[in-house]
Amino acid sequence: MTVTHSFYLAWKYLNFNRLKTATLIACITLVSSLPLALNLLLSASEEQLMSRAKVTPSLVGSKGSDLDLAINTLYFASEPPDPITMASVREIEESDLALPIPIATQFLARGFPIVGTTLDYFNFRELSLASGTRFGVIGDAVLGADVARSLGLTPGDSLVSSPETVFDLGGVYPLKMNVVGVLDRTYTADDRAVFVDIKTTWVIQGIGHGHQDLAQPDAEELVLEREGNEIVANAQLPQYTEITPENLASFHFHGSTDTFPITAIIAVPPDRKSAAILQGRYEVTDAPLQFVNSPQVIEELLIEIFKIRNLLNLVFFLVIAATLLAIALIFNLSLRLRQSEIQTSFKLGCSRGAIVQLIAAEIAVILVVSGGLSAIVTVGVSHLKQDITRTLIS
């Protein structure tokens, strides 16, 4: 019996016992691909976490969990930290120790984070536009590549911010934002964010708003009380929920900009010395804010992940060993069940070697198919690892 004949008979046998064959192939595929795929995903996660932290080493935010602050500011994930004020941005600016880039992440639009910032963020991250322009006025929004694809939005469309709470009638009103640009894909958290001017987040929050001019004679029915220079509006005064060229000039902010909220500051120092001096200012015990060295925080996170990874690798090793033993047992039991079939072949004149060759061919087919599937899975994971890990991190 030639090798070809052996493989032909093996194929026929495996095809006849499809369920058993499929189960064996699935087991071997899983056992071989799972550790590889997991290691690929972990490596990609580590790479993504670390690379973004490395280019964004200096963060300033409210005191509390440094990890929460880093994860929220770098990846726009997790609950936003307690707010800080724009006064902190001004202080850093006036110190000349760093360029402060404010970040506000407390709002969502159709499930995606709205990131309020300044245009310095685009320059800092070297974000380029796939279409449209950068935001020019309040109410403009620039979408990350994944947001635009998921929501099917292009420049000229609009996107409404999500209300903070459905039943809070006195709370934050949704703002209809004008999509003016879509970013090129970056394979980072920026792909899944809606970028607006920091002032737009204050409009969403109700700190800034636009309405009819109450000083005008035709607004008399909207006035509750006039006392000297103060005009109090009644509840009928409608506030604009969309910023248009016509009503843009009516938008205004109440109070000092110094008191307006943000969630964190990305500090971009010109050199290490400035970074060290800036860090020192926040390390005094009574400092109201904390300085976060994000590579250090992420590295600590990765060290913990390494420990869990080692544990899992051990578990995988044991699972693989148990699975291989189980497969060997299955083959052994299968051979016993096939004793009568093997005896018949022997009586028909088939040599012992030919029978061994036949069984070896069956095992080879299963291993080759499993190996092929495992390779496909691994290549697939390798190809999609950036997307998968970014989704998981976000």
Partner 1 sequence: MNVFNSRTTRMSGLFAAVLCCGVSFGCGTSTSDRDTAPQSEQIDAANSTQTETRLQVFASNYPLQFMTEFIGGESVSVSLPVPADIDPAFWTPEPDAIAQMQTADLIVLNGATYEKWLSAVSLPSSIQVFTSGGFRDRFITIEDLVTHSHGAEGEHSHAGTAFTTWIDFQLAVEQARAIRNALAERLPEQQEQLDANFAELERELLALDEQLEEAIAASDRQNQPLLASHPVYEYLAQRYDLNLQSVLWEPDVVPDESEWQDLQAKLSDRPAQWMLWEGTPNPESTARLEDLGVSSVVFSPAGNVSDGGDFLAVMQTNVNALIAIF
Is residue 190 within the footprint of partner 1 (CB under 8 A)? no
Kindly write out the interface string for residues 212-231 of this chain, putting x where it contacts partner 1 by CB under 8 A and - elsewhere: -x-x-------------x--
Part in contact with partner 1 (CB under 8 A); list of ranges 114-122, 146-154, 327-335, 349-357: 114-122
Interface residue with partner 1, options 137, 151, 327, 342 (CB under 8 A):
137
Q: Residue 75 and residue 52: Cα distance in Å, rounded?
A: 9
Is residue 133 within the footprint of partner 1 (CB under 8 A)? yes
Q: Smallest gap, in angstroms, from Cβ of residue 287 to partner 1?
A: 17
Q: Are 89 and 169 in contact (CB under 8 A)?
A: no
> How far from 334 is each of 9, 229, 338, CA to CA, in Å?
16, 95, 6
Is residue 197 within the footprint of partner 1 (CB under 8 A)? yes
Is residue 323 within the footprint of partner 1 (CB under 8 A)? no
Q: Residue 351 and residue 342: Cα distance in Å, rounded?
A: 10
Q: Residue 286 and residue 245: Cα distance in Å, rounded?
A: 46
Structure tokens at 364: 């080879």
Part in contact with partner 1 (CB under 8 A); list of ranges 105-113, 181-189, 218-226, 248-256: 248-256
Q: Residue 32 and residue 74: Cα distance in Å, rounded?
A: 34
Is residue 118 within the footprint of partner 1 (CB under 8 A)? yes
Q: Smallest gap, in angstroms, from Cβ of residue 217 to partner 1?
A: 12
Is residue 384 within the footprint of partner 1 (CB under 8 A)? yes
Q: Residue 114 and residue 275: Cα distance in Å, rounded?
A: 28
Is residue 141 within the footprint of partner 1 (CB under 8 A)? no
Q: Smallest gap, in angstroms, from Cβ of residue 249 to partner 1?
A: 6
Q: Residue 20 and residue 394: Cα distance in Å, rounded?
A: 40
Q: Residue 314 and residue 306: Cα distance in Å, rounded?
A: 12
Tell me whether residue 280 or residue 380 sits nearer to partner 1 (CB atom).
Answer: 380
Q: Smallest gap, in angstroms, from Cβ of residue 166 to partner 1?
A: 27
Is residue 191 within the footprint of partner 1 (CB under 8 A)? no
Is residue 390 within the footprint of partner 1 (CB under 8 A)? no
Q: Residue 188 and residue 225: Cα distance in Å, rounded?
A: 52
Q: Binders of partner 1 among 30-69, rule CB under 8 A? A: 30, 33-34, 37-38, 41-42, 45, 65-68
CA 15 to centroid of chain Cα atoms = 43
Which helix (H) or strand (E) is 179 found in, with range? strand 176-183
Q: Smallest gap, in angstroms, from Cβ of residue 236 to partner 1?
A: 22
Length of the chain: 394
Is residue 377 within the footprint of partner 1 (CB under 8 A)? yes
Is residue 380 within the footprint of partner 1 (CB under 8 A)? yes
Q: Smallest gap, in angstroms, from Cβ of residue 5 to partner 1?
A: 32
Is residue 388 within the footprint of partner 1 (CB under 8 A)? yes
Q: Are 102 and 263 in contact (CB under 8 A)?
A: no
Burial 99-119 (b: 16+ CB within 10 A, else e): bbbbbbbbbebeebbbbbbbe
Kindly write out the interface string for residues 333-372 of this chain, putting x where it contacts partner 1 by CB under 8 A and - elsewhere: ----------------------------------------
Part in contact with partner 1 (CB under 8 A); list of ranges 144-152, 165-173, 217-225, 307-315: 307-315
Beta strands in 71-125 (DSSP E): 84-85, 99-109, 112-117
Q: Show the CA angle centred on residue 35, arms to residues 33 and 41, nearest 5°.
A: 95
Q: Residue 270 and residue 190: Cα distance in Å, rounded?
A: 24
Q: Residue 294 and residue 272: Cα distance in Å, rounded?
A: 15
Residues at the interface with partner 1 (CB under 8 A):
29-30, 33-34, 37-38, 41-42, 45, 65-68, 71, 78, 93-94, 99-101, 118-120, 123, 133-138, 140, 197, 199, 208, 213, 215, 229, 248-249, 251-253, 300-301, 304-305, 308-309, 312, 377, 380-381, 384, 388-389, 392-393
